Chains A and B, each alone.
Chain A
């Protein structure tokens, strides 16, 4: 079974802190994604990566950055956390080519106070 693991289920951080969200997948997937889920807005893509050290902006990249130093690990960084970044963050991965389903981690509920 594909497993996508996010490092934390719940996080509470203060405004202005630098926040790291970690994601690891164990199926050698090329593509990895970070989404956030907010009520009424669905899942919105923040950043994605299709190879090690490669990254692409999604629909809402402002205030975020990412790092992919190893194929299995994709990190999301909030440079200076703000209250409007309080959300559910979801990591996903897929095979490299063709139409295929994405496998999601369990999510990280981040609260910025």
Chain B
């Protein structure tokens, strides 16, 4: 039972345009969400997070939006750069303060020059 879903396996955008990566979740108890970026043969690196008390969090070119009623979040990258080409994972923090993260399947972003 996939509690965090990224339904788009891949996304291709032109350099300078906006990249929008989507994520859906099923458990209304999730209250903290994160995005990670992963290059091949490397570990994931933290990008940005959002608490359920907010609906938007921004950090430079990266913005995460949270729609609690729809159980949906999205990551916007503006403007996209070729170096952003990677796999992006959405994650939710499991209830109970254990530090456990529940990950989506990942979306491979390709930014074309």
Which A positions have Cβ atoms within 8 angstroms of B? 4, 9, 30-31, 33, 35, 40-45, 48, 50, 56, 58, 90, 92, 94-107, 109
Contacts and interface: CB of A to CB of B under 8 A. Distances in A.
B99 interface: yes
Contacts of A105: 43
Interface string B93-113: 100011111111110000000
Interface string B35-65: 0100001111110010100000000000000
A102 B97 contact: no
B9 interface: yes
Given A99-B31, A102-B101, A109 B46 contact: no
Given A35-B103, A90-B43, 8 more contacts: A42-B89, A42-B105, A43-B44, A45-B100, A48-B100, A90-B44, A95-B99, A97-B97
Contacts of B41: 9, 106-107, 109
A101 B41 CA distance: 20
Contacts, number: 70
Contacts of B32: 99
B93 A99 contact: yes
A32 to B, nearest CB: 9
A66 to B, nearest CB: 14
B27 to A, nearest CB: 14
A45 B4 CA distance: 13
